[in-house]
Chain A
Amino acid sequence: MKLELRGITKRFGDFTANDKISFTVHSGEIHALLGENGAGKSTLMNVLYGLLHAEEGEILIDDVPQHFSNPGDSMAAGIGMVHQHFMLVPVFTVAQNVVLGNEPTSAGGIIDLGKAREKVKEISDRFGFEVDPDALVEDLPVGVQQRVEIIKALSRDAEILILDEPSAVLTPQETDELMKTMLQLKNEGKIIIFITHKLREIKEVADVVTVIRRGKVVDTVSPKETQEKLAELMVGRAVLLNVHKEPQKYDEVLLKVENLSLIGEKGVPALNNVSFEVKKGEILSIAGVQGNGQTELAEVLLGLTKPTSGEVTLGNIDLTHKSVKQTLSTGVGYIPEDRNTDGLVGDFTLPENLVLDQSDVSPFAKWLNLNLPAINSNAINLIKQFDIRAGSAHSTASQLSGGNQQKVVVARELSRDLKLLVAAQPTRGVDVGSIEFIHQQIVNERDKGIPVVVISTELDEVSALADRIAVMFHGKIIGIVPGDTDRNTLGLMMAGIPPEQARKEA
């Protein structure tokens, strides 16, 4: 089997997301698409999957041109896709999700669940997946959910599998398992298109790498190229893969979190007796798989959510019972995990977004009025200082790229005199060049002597920044380990194994 993309061009208004992209993949090949967030990889795959329609170009399977008007057509042609955000219905069972849209039925349109279960079991056994067909998807860990997605694709006889950033939500061990599955699929003669921006994974499994930058194919190379060369192709300039950090020089504990607990919506603890301390000039990274209480922890630190029990103190100030406004004015800087919902107002201009949390204090406010000259000059300074690339100083936040939007949030938070910085997923969906810059800004705050809490699900980020690493699992801190702890140990801890045992097993 052979899949060929020939001159695919996809435009959104004036913006060209894919510009004449061509490449060919053969049976039993893992073809990696390497590119930064926003380079156009996902758009390209959505075109291939029939979710979007290209303005120009052709898709050919075994030299036969294909016309996909919806995902049903592409599935019929043997294409399956595992999306970055899983396309699973949380309240359905595994079997129901696998057969959805393709249901085996008996009389009266009643679904034959026996057949559905068999289908799941058969594929699951073939790959050693151990998936229970009757489990509710929402009760499954993300790694298992991803397997359900793979089973779903294979149950529709997919010969071509698209994996969109499959490791983004996995622990390192789960990623290893995934790599094994990919090789197994390759040996069965499937075509795999593997979208990623992680160089390590490409070196491990890919046969060919196509690098995409700003919607164009930059080059098709062998995965044996050095990491630096691959990174340079992806970003378009040489990249520093490490952050420079001064040695830690203070010993005074500033932030104290004691026995913090929070009962979540379903009556299950989202935070379970969480305690840690952060010293002056120290970065504590909170690692863990998404959804293990990190979001709630960040919200409690800011005062957005009141904890069920426990205390947060900064120096000698009790933050537990303060409102968000009081917490902010105490000098807490907060980079929220989702800039679009919590960090920015999309329709506001840059100057407005840059003073969102200070719009009622001097010098930006005067009685009932905003002091517009002060707000504008503040924006001009910060845009320069943080290298925010915007069409004009009065662009709205939604007109900026993800990396620049994030810089706006970082600039606003760091422009105040801070006593504590809480950064949740500070570089999610940000290009490599901006990651480097944002990391340096966070380290600069630390070097000034400010305690910093960095919450991140990316192990690379955790390791790059941390002086110490706390790993969260099911709302608990599994352990706090030094910043140079290796990935395997951290990965096992992220799966809930205590540090001593994790160290042994790793």
Chain B
Amino acid sequence: MSENNVAVVDKDADYKGDVLVPIQWKSPIAYGALTVLAAAIFVPFAGAGSITNFSFSQAGDLIEIPNVAIPSQPALIAIAVVLAGLCALSLKFALDRKKAPILVPLAFGLLFVTALLIFVLAGNPATLPVTSLLSGALFLSTPLVFGSMTGLICERVGIINIAIEGQLLAGAFLAAVVGSVAANPYAGLLAAPLAGALFGLVLAVFAIRYFVDQIIVGTILNVFILGLTNYLYSTVLTQNQGLNFPPPLPTYEIPILGQIPVLGPVLFKQNVVVYIMYALVIVLQILIFKSRWGLRLRACGEHPEAADTVGIKVNRTRFRNTILGGAVAGLGGAFYTVAAGLSFNQNMTSGQGFIALAVMIMGKWTPKNAIFAALVFGFANNLQITLTAMQISIVPAQFMLMLPYLVTIVAVAGVIGTVRAPAQEGVPYKN
């Protein structure tokens, strides 16, 4: 056997010790800046002797954890020291030209957010409800998870779906109307995916059948759905208010699991939309990577010719899954109306469909990562709401409203270049 029969190229073997990869300064610099912020602003301005209050239990919890009062300044000093340590660790990884384990950014992020909260609430008599902060974060991240699942189903099969925003809005609208007419929130829940699927179908027809640029079709769909729902809202729904009065979905507590301190009520005392979301993420994670459907789906997005030459009908596969993706977003739209028992309102998705795309990218086009990315956005959003409600503001409220979008920009900029999109997404397949 000659040399070229070696089956796998050892990517490291040939260049070690020769040319060196440039040092990646990005993370140590970012960590350094945040550590300096914590040490130089948070610590001195927290005020000597001030206290920060946290609560971890809600009324009616089986195990009640007492409220915790933390002396702000010493706690901040301790956190700043640990942050500085993590900073040094990240610098060492960078100098060794290695990638830091995921635990480092995770720990840094959690600690920094804790420091921020301690600082903001220092000396304030109000108590920060941690449990409701977290459960609200999960609640707010629900449409983002549905939206990002739509995005990744469509992009994995090769179709860029910018219309998630519109599909969410359409789902929210139809869920509200059907739920009101039937006086049953579950009827609304069943109707919502149909609205999303309808606009998935429109996207598929234009993008696959007529090769129209997918970004343009998606953008137009968003504008169209916004205009359509605004029109129907201000005419039909305003004149017949009974059409826009959906009953709420009940909240179910899962026995035992719901009683776990702090996390129990966060994860297992939710309505059925949240439980559907859990199931959806788990099922998609398995099916996309392990099933025949998933293999064919990904083949169509990565190398459609290869799929075609083994007898897979590429455009049919793309067509069906674009509609399926639309249905998922439509279902997610139900979250805005029937899940919370709210009436439909103009533009009530307010750009979440676009943040869902950022979530999809941050989640590297995999369901299990997307849920964590979505939680980051949900948390940022809920933090903003909670602090505003507690009338705590270090900056004007308008700036607080920008928080989730700021997180989007930073997060997407941070992962761009390190993740790989499906190779043929957005490219029509002509045969």
Query: What residues of chain A have their CB less than 8 Å away from a CB belonging to chain B?
Result: 49, 51, 70-72, 75, 81, 83, 85-92, 96-97, 99-103, 105, 108-111, 130-132, 135, 139-141, 143-144, 152, 171, 173-174, 177, 261, 263, 267-269, 271-273, 308-309, 474-476, 492, 495-497
Query: Nearest-CB distance from A128 to chain B (Å)?
Result: 8
Residues 1-41 of B, flagged 1 when their CB comes within 8 A of A and 0 if not, give 11111111101001100110110000000000000000000
How far is A140 from B11 in the complex, measured between Cα atoms in Å?
A: 10
Query: Nearest-CB distance from B228 to chain A (Å)?
Result: 37
Check B19–A71 contact: CB distance below 8 A.
no
How far is A352 from B423 in the complex, measured between Cα atoms in Å?
A: 33
Check A71–B4 contact: CB distance below 8 A.
no
Selected from A81, A91, A173, A475, the residue in CB contact (under 8 A) with B4 is: A173
How far is A96 from B311 in the complex, measured between Cα atoms in Å?
A: 15
Check B5–A135 contact: CB distance below 8 A.
no
Check A140–B8 contact: CB distance below 8 A.
yes
Contact status of A87 and B14, CB under 8 A, knowing A100-B295, A110-B290:
no
Tally of A-B Cβ pairs under 8 angstroms: 142
How far is A141 from B291 in the complex, measured between Cα atoms in Å?
A: 27
- Contact stretch, chosen from B64-72, B297-305, B326-334: B297-305
For residue B290, which residues in chain A have a CB less than 8 angstroms away from its CB? 110-111
Interface residues in B292-318 (C-beta closer than 8 Å to A): 292-293, 295-296, 298-299, 302-303, 305-313
Selected from A71, A92, A109, A271, the residue in CB contact (under 8 A) with B299 is: A92
Check B14–A474 contact: CB distance below 8 A.
yes
| Pairs across A and B, CB under 8 Å, 27 listed | A72-B310, A75-B311, A87-B309, A89-B298, A89-B306, A89-B307, A91-B420, A96-B295, A100-B306, A101-B296, A101-B310, A105-B291, A110-B286, A111-B295, A130-B7, A140-B7, A144-B7, A173-B2, A177-B4, A261-B18, A267-B21, A269-B19, A272-B14, A273-B19, A474-B15, A475-B14, A476-B15
For residue A143, which residues in chain B have a CB less than 8 angstroms away from its CB? 4
Check A475–B15 contact: CB distance below 8 A.
yes
**Does chain A have a CB within 8 A of B391?**
no
How far is A416 from B287 in the complex, measured between Cα atoms in Å?
A: 59
How far is A106 from B126 in the complex, measured between Cα atoms in Å?
A: 57
Check B9–A273 contact: CB distance below 8 A.
no
Contact status of A272 and B15, CB under 8 A, knowing A87-B306, A100-B312, A174-B4:
yes
How far is A130 from B5 in the complex, measured between Cα atoms in Å?
A: 7
Query: Nearest-CB distance from B14 to chain A (Å)?
Result: 5
Query: Nearest-CB distance from A30 to chain B (Å)?
Result: 22
Check B18–A272 contact: CB distance below 8 A.
yes
How far is A174 from B1 in the complex, measured between Cα atoms in Å?
A: 11
Residue of B nearest to A97 (CB): B306
**Does chain A have a CB within 8 A of B239?**
no
Check B305–A90 contact: CB distance below 8 A.
no
How far is A143 from B303 in the complex, measured between Cα atoms in Å?
A: 19
Check B310–A135 contact: CB distance below 8 A.
no
Check A130–B1 contact: CB distance below 8 A.
yes
Check B4–A141 contact: CB distance below 8 A.
yes
How far is A102 from B307 in the complex, measured between Cα atoms in Å?
A: 11
Residue of B nearest to A135 (CB): B8
How far is A85 from B304 in the complex, measured between Cα atoms in Å?
A: 13
How far is A171 from B423 in the complex, measured between Cα atoms in Å?
A: 27
For residue B295, which residues in chain A have a CB less than 8 angstroms away from its CB? 92, 96, 99-100, 103, 111
Contact status of A51 and B308, CB under 8 A, knowing A91-B302, A140-B8, A474-B15:
yes
Selected from A89, A135, A476, A495, the residue in CB contact (under 8 A) with B14 is: A476
Q: Which 10 A-B pairs have the closest CB atoms?
A: A72-B311, A101-B310, A87-B306, A261-B19, A495-B4, A109-B291, A103-B292, A87-B309, A89-B303, A474-B14
10 additional contacts (CB under 8 A) given A261-B18, A475-B15: A92-B298, A96-B295, A100-B295, A100-B306, A102-B311, A130-B1, A135-B7, A141-B9, A272-B14, A475-B14
For residue B307, which residues in chain A have a CB less than 8 angstroms away from its CB? 89, 100-101
For residue A90, which residues in chain B have a CB less than 8 angstroms away from its CB? 302-303, 423
For residue B398, which residues in chain A have a CB less than 8 angstroms away from its CB? none
**Does chain A have a CB within 8 A of B235?**
no
Check B308–A171 contact: CB distance below 8 A.
no
How far is A289 from B170 in the complex, measured between Cα atoms in Å?
A: 53
How far is A89 from B293 in the complex, measured between Cα atoms in Å?
A: 15
Check B4–A132 contact: CB distance below 8 A.
no
Check A269–B3 contact: CB distance below 8 A.
no
